Amino acid sequence: MDDTELSSRTQRTRPVTLSSIARALVRRRFIVVLAWIVIVAAFAPLANRLGDRLVASAAGAKGNSITVTELLKDRFESPFAQTALLAITGGPDPRTPEGERVLNSIAKTIGGVPGVSATTSYANARDPYFIGEEGKGTFLIAGLETKTDSEETIIARLREATSRLATELKPEAPGIHLRWTGEAIINRDFRAASEAAASAGELRALPLTLAVLIIVFGSVAAALLPIAAGAMAIPVALGAAMLVGNVWPLAALVVNVITMIGLALSIDYSLLIMDRFREQTALGRSAHEAAWRSAHIAGRTVLTSGLAVAIGFAALLAVPVDELKSVAIGGLLAAVTAVLLGTTLLPAALSLLGTRIELGRLLPKRAKYTVRQGWLKWARFVVARPMIVLLVAGLPLLAVASQATRMHLGLPSGQWLPKSVESTEAVEDLRQMGRARLVDTILVLLQASSGSRIDDAGNRQALAKLAQSLASEPGIEHVTSPLVSDLVLPALVSRDRQYALFQAIPAHNLEYSGLSRLVRELKRAGAANLTGRSGTQILFGGRPSSEVEYEDAVTGSFAKVIGLVLIGTLATLMIVFRSVLIPLKAVLLNLFSVAAGFGALVLVFQDGYGASLLGLSAGTDAVFPIIPVLVFCAVFGVSMDYEVFLVARIAEARGFHLHEGEAVSEGLAHTGRLITGAAAVMIAVFAAFMLGDLLLMKMLGFALAITVFLDATVVRMAIGPALFTLAGRWNWWPGEQHALQSPARIGVIEPNEPRLLT
């Protein structure tokens, strides 16, 4: 079919349908390709500026910790309302004249940095706590004044200052090391590490994916086209996120989500479109006709899958955590971009390339589009012995899935950032001093009872009681109290005399799980018990409290997220297939796949089996709270892609009036290679991020990769077809006639299209 005939046929088709849109895209293929080049060129500069729009906070759950931070900024005159921590190692002991001289020099230089309100160290406090165990080092606390300058700017100045200091002090202290850490700096380093992990993961993913695609398609040109689509999706989605970031604060994790999901989905959808294109050309159709038919037929599958992914990420908006809302936006932008690329650019590019798609062929080309006999034999085996397949495939997977019940959500033990990051090295320095939990100081704000001031005689007793209660906790090793010798320190009291600040430093050997328990126990104890005075209120802040609130917000919303995803997915599939059993089976299988992925995550990361292969010295003892909800929403939509494609092919076979068992065999035989190939692409992308140094991305990449692997192999290639066979005609209830209508209705085939089954 030439362009003239294609144009005339398009003009005669008055209703705007997916078919007519596909024809128009192919007819205007030069404009479509040029438009996408312009879009990428326009969004790429925006993508490069996204880092400036990302918020430094890694959490963002609404709770007492945010209230404490705001109160410290607005109502306290303390120069240490916001702080950074400088770990000093390798220098002389501050208790010696030489060490005192070095420490005074450091304090004077840091105190003169613009944005630093004050400093405190052993030089002025003379508190033995500032000296590390066995005199291994010391530390300095710098107060940050962020009303005129941002934390980002001040931190950059501090690091520049200590870099100069280290050089100047080398003659006097040749082994000295000055490293910054603290909540603000750790959050900044997390953002920088996330951006670096996204870039490194992308670079690792592209060659791995190219190798997989060459195996799938056999030629370099065919493999490069999906890679190009994925490479275009990332800057477009990141640029769109930049625009969103102007009106809605986005967290650092949005970069990783867009890079990972955008790359995986774009390549996956390109694979579906190109597979149909090669099938159509094998039937003798021209490149132009094959391209629009591919966009029409496989485009519906892409749209359905994209909708399922969008539903999953949209559900994250129900979680009252800014970080997960950022992830939701990133996932939605990645899914929309991938769908648009797959349904517009790919058909246009295929129409332009035509037979040139076979350039650089490295593997032998099959004479015609036929079903691989190996897949057909496997399909017939599954259909002939469905119960055996269910038992052999299902029981081991059920055993793995059962491990998910032991998942412990919380802060993993060990370091989360790469070891080479300065804040991580500083924490290790503090650990050697026996002061590792300085960065996890619990901030306790005591609010006076109504009508009284915090420094009244009655409230002084409450201050003393609270200091005693905190100091008596086994998990707390040091308490800074606003009450010293019956004097209330002005720096630790708000200007309106309504609040007093306590700083409780956890024991240095307390693991993160114990730290979370400590915060929860203090909150449960309540103000009346901790202060011995009714009417007072206590607010908890600092990093430990923030993490506990974050964990509670995520886990408390998980059931709501699951419900929203299940309802949305069921409704979508019921509309597409007009069946009750098929959507229910698809949802249950997806839940099974996700549970198995969670079980594997528990065994490898939490328990540590095989953790050394991933660069971990031991198990993490816990899983980041964000991982389960993020994996569930991402994989639930992604794996639905394979289910839709498989069921669509079975529906096509039913459209030719084949028996249910024969239809399952034909559907599985035709889609087995494609589904496993698409899954291999996904796994390659996710595994590339798993190989990085950032623990969060390592954990997320593994969970996504193993879940997709189990879903695309054991579940879709064995358990799903076996259940389909056992259900028989009930798959298409409430009426088998829908199965016979479904191929043309869902776009699997065109009316009067030649039979593709063998």
- Structural contact between residues 649 and 666, judged by C-beta atoms closer than 8 angstroms: yes
- Structural contact between residues 670 and 279, judged by C-beta atoms closer than 8 angstroms: no
Q: How far is Cα 459 from Cα 532, in angstroms, rounded to an integer? A: 10
- At residue 378, the pLDDT reads 87
Average pLDDT, the chain: 83
Residue-wise burial string across 318-357, b where 16 or more C-beta atoms lie within 10 A, e elsewhere: ebbbbbbbbbbbbbbbbbbbbbbbbbbbbbbbbbbbeeeb
Looking at per-residue pLDDT, the higher value among 697 and 301 belongs to 697
- Structural contact between residues 331 and 631, judged by C-beta atoms closer than 8 angstroms: no
**φ, ψ dihedrals at 488, nearest 5°:** -95, 120
| Residue 289 DSSP SS3 | helix
Biggest alpha carbon–alpha carbon distance for the chain: 95
Partners of residue 494 on adjacent β-strands: 76
For residue 437, give the DSSP letter: G
Residue in the block written with tokens 């639930």: 636
Q: How far is Cα 597 from Cα 714, in angstroms, rounded to an integer? A: 12
| 652-709 confidence digits (pLDDT tens) | 777 666 777 788 888 888 788 888 888 888 888 888 888 877 888 889 889 999 999 9
- At residue 740, the pLDDT reads 45
Q: How far is Cα 321 from Cα 57, in angstroms, rounded to an integer? A: 11
Partners of residue 541 on adjacent β-strands: 443
- At residue 637, the pLDDT reads 73
Share of the chain above pLDDT 70, in %: 91
For the cut 60, the answer to whether the pLDDT of residue 56 exceeds it is no
Joined tokens for residue 570? 């069921």
Phi-psi region of 127 (alpha: psi -120 to 50; beta: other; left: phi over 0): beta
Mean pLDDT of 337-341: 93
- At residue 738, the pLDDT reads 47
Q: How far is Cα 229 from Cα 223, in angstroms, rounded to an integer? A: 11
Mean pLDDT of 518-541: 89
Among 360-374, 648-662, 713-727, name the most confident range.
713-727
Q: How far is Cα 56 from Cα 187, in angstroms, rounded to an integer? A: 5
Inter-axis angle of helices 626-655 and 720-727, to 10 degrees?
Answer: 50
For residue 263, give the DSSP letter: H
Domain 64-181: which CATH number of 1.10.1060.10, 3.40.50.620, 1.10.10.60, 3.30.70.100? 3.30.70.100
Hey, what CATH topology would domain 442-541 get? Alpha-Beta Plaits (3.30.70)
Inter-axis angle of helices 220-245 and 253-282, to 10 degrees?
Answer: 140
- At residue 365, the pLDDT reads 65
Reported as a pLDDT band with limits 50, 70 and 90, residue 113 is very high
| 477-527 confidence digits (pLDDT tens) | 989 888 877 777 777 888 888 998 998 999 888 887 788 889 999 999 988
**φ, ψ dihedrals at 340, nearest 5°:** -65, -40
- At residue 755, the pLDDT reads 40
- At residue 59, the pLDDT reads 47
**φ, ψ dihedrals at 444, nearest 5°:** -120, 115
Joined tokens for residue 540? 């908890």
Q: If we measure between CA atoms, which residue out of 665, 647, 675, 654 comes closest to residue 573?
A: 647
Q: How far is Cα 454 from Cα 466, in angstroms, rounded to an integer? A: 13
Q: If we measure between CA atoms, which residue out of 249, 243, 232, 198 comes closest to residue 338?
A: 232
Q: How far is Cα 82 from Cα 143, in angstroms, rounded to an integer? A: 6
Q: If we measure between CA atoms, which residue out of 253, 203, 186 comes closest to residue 50?
A: 253
Domain boundaries, the chain: 3-48+188-238+245-353+374-408+549-745, 64-181, 442-541
Mean pLDDT of 445-473: 87
Does the pTM surpass 0.85? The reply is no
- Structural contact between residues 186 and 130, judged by C-beta atoms closer than 8 angstroms: no
Provide the Cα torsion 115, 120, 123, 125; round to 10°.
Answer: 160
For residue 667, give the DSSP letter: H
Joined tokens for residue 388? 């055996």
